Structure 1
Amino acid sequence: MFAAFAAPAHAQISSEGGPIYINSDRTESLERERKVLLIGNVDIQQGDARLRANQVTMVFASKEGGGAGTVGGSFGQIESMTAEGDVFYVTPELKAKGERGVYVAATDTITMTGNVALMRGRDVAEGEVLKLEITNRRTTLDGGDGRTRMMIDPDSQNGTND
């Protein structure tokens, strides 16, 4: 089974904003809990950003008026998304992978954990916790054990984009 729908535009996995397009093998709507479970080959796209994972749980903020929605209707604004299993986040500027990723709308951040790798062009950084502040365009990598590893290729820094 293949599910696809566009979510409200306030959640941001892309600094461009816009509609969010979601594909997965299965979608479960938990209306009373204001959750949508996306299971199997999850692929989420917004603008020039893409998030892929084995499973994603989307939590929606309470709607004014108290009405509940359905997958075909509107839940309201996305409060958070938790991606688990082979998580990949890709934009034109960077590629990141990890075991788990959490997006929080209130802070507009994505935090990836578990054997994290971040690639920008031919430069690579590895650690345990990666925090991406979408709007601020700020990236922080923590080694977990106090150490991060990096490989920077100065020859790829010729002023052109890879």
Structure 2
Amino acid sequence: MTLRPLILALTLALPAPVLAQNLAFGGMRADLSAPVEVSADNLTVDQSDGSALFTGNVVIGQGEMRLSAEEVTVDYATGGQDRISRMTATGDVTLVSGPDAAEAQQAVYDVEAGTVLLTGDVLLTQGRNVLAGDRVTVDLATGSARVEGRVRSVLQPGTP
């Protein structure tokens, strides 16, 4: 995204040395009962370990949530490839749900737990508010998020 350098510069300008912060990330929810759809340029399946590697323009959707990345490894639950247990996305990861968005270098989506762990230069936006941190865990059932590491934020005041 072209705004990322500007947003990062703004977040680094604010002194906010917080080790961890909880926040409501309301739009970042997913219908955990909805099917998970994956599209990509290429697919490699490894029958020996029960995984699949999607590469090139990978987009994963579940309900209104969309995750895109350069590549995504899908691990299936023990006992067959009928249920996904975890997806690991790497390279320019973007997670969007409603008005909320997140960018990171890696995201691990634990489908069974309904959580997404974002790591590597994480940048969250919610409307005009921006939050950056080292590690963010999003609970997709509740929409809550926990930001850890060097947390930086730009919070826009509400209009009177």
Write the distance in 2 (CA, Å) between the matches of 1:105 and 1:19. Answer: 11
| Percent of paired sites with the same residue | 30
2:106 to 68, 91, 100: 100
Q: Residues 75 and 84 of structure 2 are in contact (CA less than 8 Å); yes or no, is this contact kept in structure 1?
A: yes
TM-score by length of 1: 0.76
Shift of 1:155: 3.1
Paired position in structure 1 for 2:51: 35
The CA deviation string for residues 53-89 of structure 1, in whole angstroms up to 9 with x for no partner, is: 00000000122xxxx5xxxxxx121111100000000
Write the distance in 2 (CA, Å) between the matches of 1:55 and 1:44. Answer: 11
Paired position in structure 1 for 2:116: 110
Paired position in structure 2 for 1:129: 135
Write the distance in 2 (CA, Å) between the matches of 1:17 and 1:50. Answer: 15
Gaps of 5+ in 1: 1-12, 69-74
> Aligned to 2:120, what secondary structure does the other structure show?
strand
Paired position in structure 2 for 1:45: 61
Paired position in structure 2 for 1:17: 33
Matches within 5 A, 1:50-129: 50-63=66-79, 68=80, 75-129=81-135
Shift of 1:106: 3.6
Q: Residues 32 and 141 of structure 2 are in contact (CA less than 8 Å); yes or no, is this contact kept in structure 1?
A: no
Structure 1 or 2: larger strand share?
Answer: 2
When the two structures are aligned, how many residues end up with a matched partner? 132
Q: Residues 53 and 73 of structure 2 are in contact (CA less than 8 Å); yes or no, is this contact kept in structure 1?
A: yes
Write the distance in 2 (CA, Å) between the matches of 1:108 and 1:45. Answer: 14
Q: Residues 53 and 72 of structure 2 are in contact (CA less than 8 Å); yes or no, is this contact kept in structure 1?
A: yes
Gaps of 5+ in 2: 1-28
TM-score by length of 2: 0.77
> Aligned to 1:136, what secondary structure does the other structure show?
coil
Runs of 4+ in 1 over 4 A off after TM superposition: none
Q: Which has the higher contact order (CA 8 A, sep 6+)?
A: 2
Alignment of 1:152 onto 2:155: yes
Shift of 1:105: 2.7
Letter in 2 for 1:44: I
Write the distance in 2 (CA, Å) between the matches of 1:50 and 1:17. Answer: 15
Write the distance in 1 (CA, Å) between the matches of 2:98 and 2:33. Answer: 15
